[in-house]
Structure 1
Amino acid sequence: MIYLLPGLGADARVFRNLQPLLLGESRVLEWVLPASPTEPLPAYAARLAADIPPEQTGLLVGISFGGVVALEINRLRPQLRTVLISSIPDAHSLPPLLRLIRATGVYRLVPPQLLKLFPRVGQWYFGVKNGEEYRLFREVLRDMEPRYTRWAIHSLLHWDSANVGRAIQILGTHDRVFPPGPTPVEYLIPGGGHFMVVSHAQEISRILNKLAAGEPHPLAPSPKERGN
């Protein structure tokens, strides 16, 4: 089984190019509204995890903020292998721009729906191409739920990733939201931006299908390194 978690404000539509290419069964875990504006991220993740059998195996794939939630779910469903697409493996990997936004608290002053008025700015930041991708991006912006978006932004910026499990990271070389840093990345997609789940679905599907089949990722320790 491959579970799919979309990014902040997005839904199953972002997987429409990817999901038909996946081998075997896949399921999108849809967002639900937070129970309150201050619901802790682990509590929110536990509500989503309730739909996953405790001993379920397979992949748990999270896009962007969905990767953060996937890592929290993985604490409760450790039999799943977590895969991050356009996401970060821990809070220490938060890029400088988002650290600045957190430090200044400006995110509290700007309503999330403001981005709807300036879609071309979002298009550049997220690396969205014109045509089908931009139309999908506009749809996602149009349907953003302000209560969820405010909660998600705060949860991302104040994520406590202490003792979070390991994950396999798939990142685009042109991602402006979570750009590649000094930490090794298992899979770097040349030319991929933050919206590459749509634009580079072919490349990503090949990786996910290999991982689902049990192939080790490039940075996996060898049997000797594992002490076997």
Structure 2
Amino acid sequence: MEKIPVYFMPGLAASPAIFERIALSPDIFDMHFLEWEIPFENELLSDYAKRISEKIFHKNPVLIGVSFGGILVQEISKFVHPKKVIIISSVRSNAEFPKRMKVAKATKAYKLFPKNLADKIDTLAKFSLGEKINQRLKLYEKFLSVRDNRYLSWAIQNVILWDRSEIDENVIHIHGSADEVFPMKYIKNCIVVKDGTHIMILNKFRWLNENLPKIILEEKA
């Protein structure tokens, strides 16, 4: 049987190391890990997605993205005709953003992030991983590997300004009931992981390892 290619995209500023606990059967799945690249000046998210899509070398891959990576794989899907798109701890449209992100868009507050954000690991970690990770900053420091200020300001702006207003029902959404970055009360029609936080790719990996294969292999009704 030909293996199913699965491409993983990490969350904002994160490295593929966030997937180190994800183990899919090598007899069935061929795992590949995409990485963030420094954006060109004023690069549109759609153009960036096209550029990252050129790193995908299989037809009809499965795309899996976490947080901002979940937003990006939805944009990448326009260029690669995926077998499935699965997002984890993310959103399927800007209607699912919490109020603070909608306010940031309306007031352009995203422009007020410090220019030296790369040096402020605590601020970056809160935005990327959630408010509750302060006590374990050292653990997560290794996962936030992209410290280029051009990337960080671009990424934060492109999260806030994501223009998708309608949900693509073909996108499979896995979300934690305790996600503090994208609270469950704003999320519609997802697979709920009980007590999963925004970093459940790290601490709910057993659930994911058990269920991702079934979700990938499940045929549409």
TM-score, with length taken from structure 1: 0.82
Per the alignment, do residues 202 and 176 of structure 1 end up closer, same or farther by CA in structure 2, a change over 3 Å counting?
same
Per the alignment, do residues 119 and 156 of structure 1 end up closer, same or farther by CA in structure 2, a change over 3 Å counting?
closer
| 1:84-113 Cα distance to aligned partner (Å, 9 max, x none) | 000000122111111112222222122233
User: For the residues of structure 2 that align with 1:167 and 1:208, how far apart are their CA atoms?
Assistant: 14
Deviation at 1:199, TM superposition (A): 0.5
Tell me which residue corresponds to 2:82. 79
**2:196 is the alignment partner of 1:192:** yes
Per the alignment, do residues 194 and 175 of structure 1 end up closer, same or farther by CA in structure 2, a change over 3 Å counting?
same
Tell me which residue corresponds to 1:226. none
Tell me which residue corresponds to 2:105. 102
| 1:136-166 Cα distance to aligned partner (Å, 9 max, x none) | 3123447522111110111111112267743
| 1:172-201 Cα distance to aligned partner (Å, 9 max, x none) | 011011111355333111111101100001
Which consecutive unaligned segments of at least 5 residues does structure 2 have? none
TM-score, with length taken from structure 2: 0.84
Does structure 2 retain, via aligned residues, the 8 Å contact 1:74–1:80?
A: no
SS in structure 2 of the partner of residue 169 of structure 1: strand
Per the alignment, do residues 156 and 182 of structure 1 end up closer, same or farther by CA in structure 2, a change over 3 Å counting?
closer
User: For the residues of structure 2 that align with 1:118 and 1:63, how far apart are their CA atoms?
Assistant: 19
Deviation at 1:118, TM superposition (A): 5.3
| 1:29-57 Cα distance to aligned partner (Å, 9 max, x none) | 11111011x1000100000111224x612
Does structure 1 retain, via aligned residues, the 8 Å contact 2:175–2:192?
A: yes
User: For the residues of structure 2 that align with 1:186 and 1:80, how far apart are their CA atoms?
Assistant: 19
Identity among equivalent pairs (%):
27
SS in structure 2 of the partner of residue 209 of structure 1: helix
Per the alignment, do residues 15 and 45 of structure 1 end up closer, same or farther by CA in structure 2, a change over 3 Å counting?
same
User: For the residues of structure 2 that align with 1:123 and 1:44, how far apart are their CA atoms?
Assistant: 19
Does structure 2 retain, via aligned residues, the 8 Å contact 1:63–1:87?
A: yes
**2:66 is the alignment partner of 1:63:** yes
SS in structure 1 of the partner of residue 64 of structure 2: strand
**RMSD over equivalenced CA pairs, Å:** 2.5
Does structure 2 retain, via aligned residues, the 8 Å contact 1:63–1:86?
A: yes
Deviation at 1:7, TM superposition (A): 0.4
Per the alignment, do residues 126 and 16 of structure 1 end up closer, same or farther by CA in structure 2, a change over 3 Å counting?
farther
Tell me which residue corresponds to 1:44. 48
Does structure 1 retain, via aligned residues, the 8 Å contact 2:63–2:85?
A: yes
Which consecutive unaligned segments of at least 5 residues does structure 1 have? 223-228
